[in-house]
Structure 1
Amino acid sequence: MTDAPPPTTPQAGGGNGAAPPEATPHAEEDNRFVQLLGRFAPWLASIGRLTRHQVRFTLLLIGAGWGTLRESLRPNSWRRPVRYEFRATLRQVVGGGFLSIVITATLAGLMVVSQAAYWLGYAGMAQMTGSILVSVLVREISPILVGIILMGRSGMLSLTEIGMLVLGGEVRSLQVRGIDPFLALVMPRTFAFTVGGFTLGMIFSVVSLLMGFVVAHANGVITSSVWTFFFNVLAAMTTWDYLVIPLKFVLVGFFVGLGACISGLTVSSNDTMATIMPRGFARGIMLVLVVNILFMLDF
């Protein structure tokens, strides 16, 4: 009977006696890339959070705008509480902003109309007064000033009210009782701002032109009657002006109201009045400028 051969002792580095594999160049490059990425990861995360935050509001605005238009076409969306909210907000927007609109329109008319009539008459181009006033005052300056007044006078109020309702838990209580905060708060207020923007815009345009005519006529710059002055202004308007100018006022009011409501409805528990109001005001001004820039590019 022969003895069994002694068992072989496995060498270090592997059970089959093979040498351990050396690190490949690809593995070293991957390790360097991971280390480099780890250094820039906090910066990339900050940029990503900022971009996501800005894009989030834009997407919310687009979705809420489409939802507002869609829900407004349903008769059952305009129930009695919704109609009451619409009327209350409309009274606040038009009634609260009327005096500010008149004062601002008076100042704008004194500066723009009188100066334009004076310098155009001095240059021998008095026949261009109507077209200059339509292009500069009615179509460009008026929507911006009306949007700023809407945002500062009424938009901040809606933003504050809805934001306090969210922070106080009242919006959550509405959801528990089966009431949609979007239908109860956002939709009626947005349409109230839309109607209010158109109304205040028309008032601003008429008052600014009228006050400018009064000052220019008193100084002898304009010698025609007020009816001839307004006829020249209307004659200088093109077909697009009759469509674009009211549409600008409507869209400015729509997006100012919608932006204020969405900003108030999306506040977090970490927000305070010191953070809600500056953010909402900056968003409102941005929306007013974007609407006017888009019309400027297209028309």
Structure 2
Amino acid sequence: MAEAQPVALPWLLLESIGGPVRRGAQMLLATLALAAGVVTEGLHPSSWRRRTLRSELRRSLRQAIAGGFGTVVITATLIGFGVVHQTLRWLSFAGQEDYTGTLLATVLVREVTPVLVGLILLGRSGTVTVVEFGATKAGGQLEVLEAQGLDPFALLVLPRVVAMALAGFTLGVIFLGVALVTGYLTGWFTDLVVGPPRELLLNLFGATDTAEFALFAVKLVVIGALVALVCAITGMSSTRAETPSHLLPRAFVRGLLAILAASALLSVAAA
């Protein structure tokens, strides 16, 4: 029996470089293709006439919002103290209170809230999606659905992505409101703020134009949808030998990169 020929070092080097690039490109193309399918099917009225799809949408939406609500409130409270209160403190110390709204709009509204809400969705709902889809793939239920003439995309992926997008916007608004309230109350108790809450809101809204609020909403919706897409692809592309201990770290890294990339690209595009 002939001995196996050793693999040349240059080929191993090329494989080590090209392998991650190829897998990353496959993930990007799969995400874009699935996103195009969600937009096409989601905007078609006939897609939502099926009771099973509407039921799955309600279940996913309830799980995403209720599951992330407590974490959003706690995180927003900490951010309200750490960002809003410190902003009020140092601008008051420097005598630049007029720039409070501009700084909060740039830091809290545009960057911090969408990213943190996306991470909360990834940790609370994205992991559930990975485990459920991975179990569905490992149990052969996808093949059963296809054999019955049912579309797994329409029954599983579409409602989950739409629910996560809506949950991202809802939790983002709650996050922003709680952070502002916490920051104001902390500033009021420490005598940094002497005016009514209306002044802080007017300062913030005066420094934030319509485009900023539109960017805020778009970021939340896009990030929520991306979390669902990445987690769905990770779960449905798993093998039978892979367990949640293999899938969850992979989904977390992919989801984190998707959140940061989407936030950065949308900020640059709106600049």
TM-score (norm 1): 0.85
Deviation at 1:112, TM superposition (A): 0.7
Deviation (angstroms), 1:267: 1.0
Q: Which residue number corresponds to residue 112 of structure 1?
A: 83
Match of 2:96 in 1: 125
The corresponding residue for 1:93 is 64
Instruction: Choose from 74, 79, 87 the match for 2:44.
Output: 74
Cα root mean square deviation, aligned:
1.5
Q: CA deviation at 1:233?
A: 1.0
- Aligned AA for 2:45? P
Verify the 8 A CA contact 1:186 1:262 in the aligned structure 2: no
Q: Does 1:278 align with 2:253?
A: no
Where 1:222 maps in the other structure, the secondary structure is: coil
Larger relative contact order (C-alpha < 8 A, sep ≥ 6)?
2
Higher mean C-alpha displacement, 223-232 vs 209-218: 223-232
Structure 1 runs of 4+ with >6 Å offset: none
Q: Unmatched 5+ residue regions in structure 2?
A: 1-6
Aligned match of 1:266: 237
Instruction: Choose between structure 1 and 2: higher helix proportion.
Output: 2
Q: With the length of structure 2 as denominator, give the TM-score of the two structures.
A: 0.94
Which residue number corresponds to residue 188 of structure 1?
Answer: 159
Distance in 2 separating the partners of 1:239 and 1:196:
22
Q: Is contact 1:97-1:153 (8 Å) kept?
A: yes
Does the Cα contact within 8 Å between 1:82 and 1:188 map onto a contact in 2? yes
CA contact (8 A) 1:252 1:288 kept: yes
| Equivalent pair of 1:72/1:187 in contact (CA under 8 Å) | yes
Query: Gaps spanning 5+ residues in structure 1: where?
Result: 1-36
Alignment pair present for 1:45 and 2:43: no
The Cα of 1:76 is off from its aligned counterpart by: 2.8
Q: Which has the larger radius of gyration?
A: 1
1:210 corresponds, among 175, 181, 200, to: 181
1:167 aligned residue: 138
Who is 1:57 aligned against? 27
Superposition deviation, residue 123 in structure 1: 0.5
Instruction: Find the aligned partners of 2:93 and 2:146 in 1 and give their Cα distance.
Output: 65
What letter corresponds to residue 253 of structure 1 in structure 2? G
Name 1:153's counterpart in structure 2: 124
CA-CA distance at 1:139 after TM superposition: 1.2
